[in-house]
Structure 1
């Protein structure tokens, strides 16, 4: 069987979404942009706000879910667990909520790192004129 190479080597790509996103992020002056939580003005802000709202909804479910389920279905939630002997609602609030919060913090950090990589934000240390090392939290320069 003969393998055919159908790719044309003379065709150039458009640079991809990551390069264009990083380029437009570098060209945007975020200090002059209006900050509106309901209608973000830049793609980075829109994506970051989506991550924040998703995390908030997950947090609310993790924290208030066991309490609400205990109110709605007290028979199921107040039964003793066979392994530890605690009621299910106690276990979910005492162990599930802190574990869920820890997992949410790892999830947020990974999503934020992915956004930073997509938009070319570098949080590396920059040297100032007096030799001190400073970090610009927004990925820009410290003036």
Structure 2
């Protein structure tokens, strides 16, 4: 009887040891939903003269060039790819930056882009944008590219 209890105890302890030392423990992290490549889809703003919220395809403000693409890397490094029309030709430029859970900071911009929301397919950023009619606060919707 004593041998059976001892054997049962040994099997139980061995079983608990294997579960506690599972190799999956180190890989049990949830991927950050911000990490990835994001492509601008729409831009929304409030018209100061009427108070009306306007939403347009982001491509409408790029003069035929590619829309902005934002890469957020796991090491909190950001890369913003833009295209501007210079002498009728679309010229690509990259601006480095950093990001955290609340904002994306792009080198050369006066203020960080605030993260409004993020899920697996959509990222909303709020920031100041300057274009031919002036500077205004916009909300840009990005989707995974």
TM superposition score category, shorter chain reference? under 0.3
Which one has the bigger helix percentage? 1
User: Bigger relative contact order, structure 1 or 2, given CA contacts below 8 A and separation 6+?
Assistant: 1
Which one has the bigger strand percentage? 2
Normalised to the residue count of structure 2, the TM-score between the two structures is 0.21
Normalised to the residue count of structure 1, the TM-score between the two structures is 0.21
